């Protein structure tokens, strides 16, 4: 004798069980991830907000100032205290003061840098209100690898890379040469 077929209802219940088990596993995993995220956020220290902006480094939302042995980033006034600072001073004169004279003032008189007139023409080709961010990294040969990012008022972003050589020794630091990467 042939046994009677099993009712369809039993098969329907059996097919739904893997779905229920899988759904429960997904929900459980999501709950575990949520718990970990909540505890991680609660355990992390509060973020520091800047209450003082270093005028030499500058800073803006798109150019957070950074200074360590391998990198200086900023858009501040700069100074003649170090290689990275004199590079910041040159770029500040170019983008903020918009003065070829001020830019050339932080170079040596015989520097391999364009004249005041050529620098001024370059400045005039950049729209007023253009923001900039300068990244300065020291190179093994004493030069600096400089990346300048400009954000124009139209939101167009341009990036330039230069190798900059500065004076060595005591006293104020000046730029000796600005050249394309080589």
Domain co-membership, 106 together with 19: no
Whether 145 and 136 have beta carbons less than 8 Å apart is answered as yes
Strand segments, DSSP code E, in 29-182 are: 66-67, 72-74, 107-112, 131-138, 144-151, 157-166, 175-179
- Co-location of 18 and 84 in the same domain: no
pLDDT > 80? residue 148: yes
Looking at the structure, tell me whether residues 38 and 73 fall in a common domain: no
Assess whether 106 and 146 both reside in one domain.
yes
* pLDDT at 170 (0 to 100): 85
Domain membership of residue 18 as a residue range: 7-43
Higher pLDDT, 29 or 164: 164
pLDDT tens track for 106-117: 999 999 999 999
Greater pLDDT, 5 or 138 = 138
Exposed/middle/buried for residue 129 (C-beta within 10 Å: 0-12, 13-18, 19+): exposed
**For residue 81, is it within any domain?**
yes
CA 15 to chain centre: 54
Q: Work out the average pLDDT over 93-121.
A: 98
Least confident of 25-34, 130-139, 160-169: 25-34
Q: Examine the domain organization and report whether 172 and 95 are in the same domain.
A: yes
Q: Does residue 39 share a domain with residue 119?
A: no
- Domains identified in the chain, total number: 2
The answer to whether residue 48 is domain-embedded is no
Is 152 within the bounds of a domain?
A: yes
Asked, for residue 149, whether it belongs to a domain, the answer is yes
Same domain, 17 and 103: no
* pTM over the 0.75 mark: no
Q: Which residue has the higher pLDDT, 81 or 53?
A: 81
pLDDT for residue 38: 41
Q: Which residue has the higher pLDDT, 58 or 48?
A: 58
Better-predicted residue by pLDDT, 19 or 175 = 175
User: How far is residue 53's CA from residue 67's CA, in Å, rounded to a whole number?
Assistant: 13
Q: Report yes or no: 161 and 87 within 8 Å, Cβ to Cβ.
A: no
170 and 100, same structural domain?
yes
Do 128 and 39 share a structural domain?
A: no
Indicate if 174 and 90 belong to the same structural domain.
Answer: yes
Residue 96 lies in a domain: yes
pLDDT band at 182 (very low <50, low <70, confident <90, very high): confident
pLDDT digits 0-9 by tens, 1-56: 676 666 655 555 555 566 555 555 544 454 444 443 444 444 444 333 333 445 55
Task: Say yes or no: 84 and 152 in one domain.
Answer: yes
Using H for helix, E for strand and C for coil, what is the string for 69-88? CCCEEECCCCCCCCHHHHHH
122 in the same domain as 36: no
With respect to residue 147, please indicate whether it lies within any of the assigned structural domains: yes
- Reported as a single tens digit per residue, the pLDDT across 59-78 is 555 788 999 999 999 999 99
Residue 118 pLDDT greater than 50, yes or no? yes
CATH number reported for the structural domain that contains residue 136 in this entry: 3.10.450
Q: Give the pair of three-digit tokens for residue 94.
A: 């170019």
What is the per-residue pLDDT for 48? 36
The two beta strands, 144-151 and 157-166, are antiparallel
């Amino acid at each position: 004798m042939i046994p009677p077929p099993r009712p369809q209802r039993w098969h329907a219940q059996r097919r739904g069980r893997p779905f229920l088990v899988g759904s429960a596993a997904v929900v459980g995993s999501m709950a575990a991830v949520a718990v970990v995220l909540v505890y991680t956020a609660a355990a992390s220290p509060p973020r520091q907000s800047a209450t003082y902006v270093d005028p030499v480094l500058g800073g803006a939302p798109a150019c957070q100032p950074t200074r360590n042995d391998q990198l200086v980033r900023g858009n501040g006034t700069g100074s003649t205290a170090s290689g990275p600072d004199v590079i910041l001073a040159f770029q500040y004169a170019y983008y903020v003061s918009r003065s070829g004279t001020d830019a050339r003032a932080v170079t040596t008189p015989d520097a391999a840098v364009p004249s005041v007139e050529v620098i001024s023409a370059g400045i005039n080709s950049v729209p007023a209100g253009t923001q900039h961010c300068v990244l300065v990294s020291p190179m093994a040969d004493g030069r600096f690898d400089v990346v300048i990012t400009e954000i124009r008022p139209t939101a167009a972003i341009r990036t330039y890379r230069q190798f900059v050589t500065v004076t060595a020794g005591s006293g104020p630091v000046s730029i000796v040469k600005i050249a394309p990467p080589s």
